[in-house]
Structure formats: C-alpha cells, structure tokens
Amino acid sequence: MFEQISGHLLVAFYVAILIAVAFYGLHRYILVYLYVKHRNDGYQPKAKFAQLPHITVQLPMFNEDVVAERIIKATCQIDYPLDKLEIQVLDDSTDHSADIARLACEQWQAKGFPIHYIHRTNREGYKAGALEAGLKQAKGEFIAIFDADFVPPRDILHNVVGYFADDQIGMVQVRWDHLNRDASLLTKSQAIFLDGHFVVEHTARNRSGRFMHFNGTAGVWRRSTIEDAGGWQHDTLTEDLDLSYRAQMKGWQFVYLPQFCAPAELPPEMIGFKQQAHRWTKGSFQTAIKLLPGILRSKHLSRRIKLEAFFHLTNTVVYPLMVLLTLLMYPTFFNIFSPFKSHSWGQYVFSGSLFVLATCSASTFFIVGQRELFGKEAGWKTLIYMPVLMGLGVGISLNNAKAVFEAIWSSIRRKPSEFVRTPKYGAMGSGRNKWRKDSVFTFKRLALPIVEIAFGCYMTCCMWISLWYLCGLWSGQPKSGWASLPFLMIFAGGYFYVGFGSLWALYQMNRDHAEVIAEAPEILST
C-alpha cells in the first residue's frame, strides 16, 4: 500500500514538472505567433537631427590579446564625423593584452582619431564597472557599446542614430551575426539558437509592446536613459538585462532593428560555450530575483508586459527541471509502474511525456528564425539539426542548472559574482587560445563533465531497458515502446556530446598550456 501511494506521488511530481516545462515550451509558440503577427510592423525614424549628435563608442575588454587590435581598427573605421565621435577603450586587462590595446590606441591617435585608452587597476564591478567608469569621462550624448569579439560595420552609427530623434527612445539594438557560423557543428548549433532569439524573440517582444533587452553589445544608449534608470549596476552578471528592465520600467522605449547587424565570433569549443551559457543563465536568474517582484507589483505596467517579463526572466528554471525529469525517468516509469506490460498506462505516459518534451523544444521557433534569415529552403533544412539542437539543450542543462542554484545562493548572500569572460580566438573564431593561466586539469573542471557523461550512461541504460522490455526484444513480441527510443537517444547523446566535448576541450587547453611552458618556462613566474 505504501509503495503504491509513494509511486502515485512520484508520478504526480513528475507530471507537475513536465507541465511546468510544457508551459515554457508553449510560451515559445506564443512568441512565434507574436512574431508572425508583428513582423511587418517595423520602426521608422519620426524625425531627423538637424546636426548629428556626439556619440561615444565604448569598447570594454579584459585580456583580449587576440581580438583587441581588430575591434579597435574596426571601430576607428566607422563612418561618422570625427568631431562628433569619441572612442573609449575600457581595458581591465591584467596581462600583456593591455600593452597590445594601448599600442593600438596610440597608433590610431597618431592618425588623428579621437580614441582614448582607459585602464583600470582593478576589476571592481567587472564589465558594468568598466562601463560606468567610462561613462563618467564620456563626452557623448549617446553611448554605443561593442564587445571585443565584434566587428562593427562602417555604417552602424548612421543606421541607428536617426531613431533617437524621438525623445522617448532610450536604446536601439541591432541583430547579432556570426563570423564563424559554419566552423563546426557546435558553432552552427549556437548560431541557430541565437538566430531564434534575435529574429523571433526580440522582434516579437519589441513590436508587440512588451519589454525586450539590450544584449550587452551591438547597441546604442541615450546617456540620459542610463542615468535615469540608475546607471550600470554590478549585482548581477547580466548588467545589460538588469539596466534594460529598469529603463523600461521608467517609461523609456526601446527599438530593435533586425535589418541591421553586427558580426561576432561564437565560442568554437565546449568549455567556452558552457562558460558563456553559465554566465547568461546565472545573471538572468539574478535579475529575476532582483527585479521581478517589483515588476509584478507595478500598478502602471500592463498584464501582458508582466506576463512576458515573468516568462522572460524565469525561463532558466527549465534547466533544473530538465535535470529532475532525467533523474526521475527510471524510478517513475521503469521501476515503480513497470510499464513492461503491454499497453500499460505507465507506458503511454512515459512515451507521451517524452513527446511533450520534444514539442517543448520549440523546433518551430528555430525553423522560423532560419527561414526568415535565409529563405524557405534554409528553414526546412534546420530540421536536420533538430536532434543536435535538442541534444545540446538537454546536455547543457546540468551546467545551467548549476548556474540557477548559484544565482539563488549569491542573492541570499548578497555577494557579487565573478564575471568569467568568454574566451576569444580571433580570425574566424576557429583557432585555439595561445595561453591561459587556468588551462590545466583540476577536479573542479573535470567534475561537471564526468557527471554529464554519467547522465549519458544513465540514459543509455534507460534506452536499453526500453529497447529490451518495452519493445519486446526479450520476448520476441513487438510492443509499443519504440516511440520513446528517439527521445532517449537524444537525451543520452546530448549528455555525451557536452560531457566528452568538455573533456576534449580541456585536453586541448592542457596541451596548449604544456606547449607554452615548454617554449617559455619563465612565463610561470609572471
């Protein structure tokens, strides 16, 4: 009797988690609907400046030896009157990158460009702190921001500045493009993920009157908007998301321009991808904890804005839910309810739950994004990548679930989190770092990949049980368990892909570390 009650409670818990995940999957379909409904409702500048305003371009960087010269050169080549332009290189570097960036600034200064090198002796506030420090010295009425791995196009400021003739516009964001989209399966998958965000999500939110956010780079701010919203704050790892919501709660309007883009490189190896995903996930949930209660209590925000803000800021909870669903698969469906019996209801619930999860992966979301960018044929070709996209989404769940719990813990302790930069590789973003002081095997680095591989083994066992019992191989009588196999394969493949990909990246990092030490052993003393 006790076992039966506990079994029902376990299944109820599983179904409750599944329903929560399904709601977030449904939300993506709502975003697709809003995108289709509003995709032709583009913005047009309401007026023109009699004289072009003064713009300060900020280039925050930290130990960016590979890409520092590239971003400085690209920024100096932007087509904008030099007497109306100011360029700030906000460098917090603690290695030889500082010398590279300083020398590049001096060379462009000698050519008559209004570029200034600002170097801080500490990383207080990390990127937000650097931006705030630069803002105190900036002369511009508008502030453009580009991260070090971006290559801003020459016409970027002319394309954007006209929208600020409307005094209500506080920020204009352009779409990200990708320099190394086709470098590997990992970069291709990331590009599809981000294209869905920039094509569908941003457009749907912005043009339907909901809150969107600045992506930390490739955008221009009205300086008074930053100041009115309380300035750059560093109590979250996503200072861009935090400031965006605070500004829009003050009544400032944002404009998103997907027709213009700024290209950047994607992390070409698994460790860099996981570091970036971890920072975005942790910072997003920190922002939810910080701002969401005030948003929901607000009396002047509409219900649709509040509802979208809730889904937007809390969508990262899907990752710990995915981990729980993975852990509960065996005890819930293979053990307690023994769905080895033909046509048992537990068997149907199991297969059905995996189908719902696959549906919640919102393949439509990515297909629409690729179709809008590259045409109908490219959209349907995205179906080929769907197993990889689904697997990568599952495989990264442990990494991102850890980020969610860290966000909760840091918010309880009220202690700022360290900003871990995403490694840059330069060129087309397909090379390897020359030197990283932390490029050695440690238990801390190895622990998560080992757990991810263990999850892959666990899902492989579930797949074998399903194949042997549910599909009737042990009895020679076919049953109805085949539907669950593709999803179990995606779960297992996703955890293996992320886990082994991480170990391979760590191996390469360690090899590079050893090569540098062999060539220049004195570097250990620096």
Q: What residues are annotated to the active site? A: 92, 240
169-178/85-91 β-pairing:
unpaired
Q: Is the Cβ–Cβ distance between 258 and 198 less than 8 Å?
A: yes
Strand partners, 262: 176
The strand ranges marked E within 389-441 are none
| Tokens 């291709």, located at residue | 188
Cβ-based neighbours of 417, under 8 Å, separated by 6 or more: 236, 237, 282, 283, 286, 406, 407, 410
**Cα distances (Å, whole numbers) of residue 467 to 250, 347, 479, 486:** 57, 13, 10, 11
Give 52's DSSP letter: P
Q: Is the Cβ–Cβ distance between 55 and 85 less than 8 Å?
A: yes
Pairwise CA distance, residues 356 & 346, whole Å: 15
Report H helices in 250-362: 270-297, 303-314, 318-329, 345-360
How open is the CA angle 276-277-279, to the nearest 5 degrees? 65
Give 316's DSSP letter: G
Closest to 199 measured CA to CA, from 382, 21, 358: 382
Residue 461 buriedness (CB in 10 A; 0-12 / 13-18 / 19+): middle
Q: Is the Cβ–Cβ distance between 7 and 337 less than 8 Å?
A: yes
Closest to 422 measured CA to CA, from 222, 274, 287, 293: 274
Pairwise CA distance, residues 411 & 59, whole Å: 29
**Cα distances (Å, whole numbers) of residue 328 to 14, 331, 348, 405, 487:** 7, 6, 16, 19, 15
Residue 135 buriedness (CB in 10 A; 0-12 / 13-18 / 19+): buried
Neighbours of 42 (CB within 10 A): 13
Pairwise CA distance, residues 71 & 508, whole Å: 26
Report CA dihedral (466, 469, 474, 477) to the nearest 10 degrees.
Answer: -110
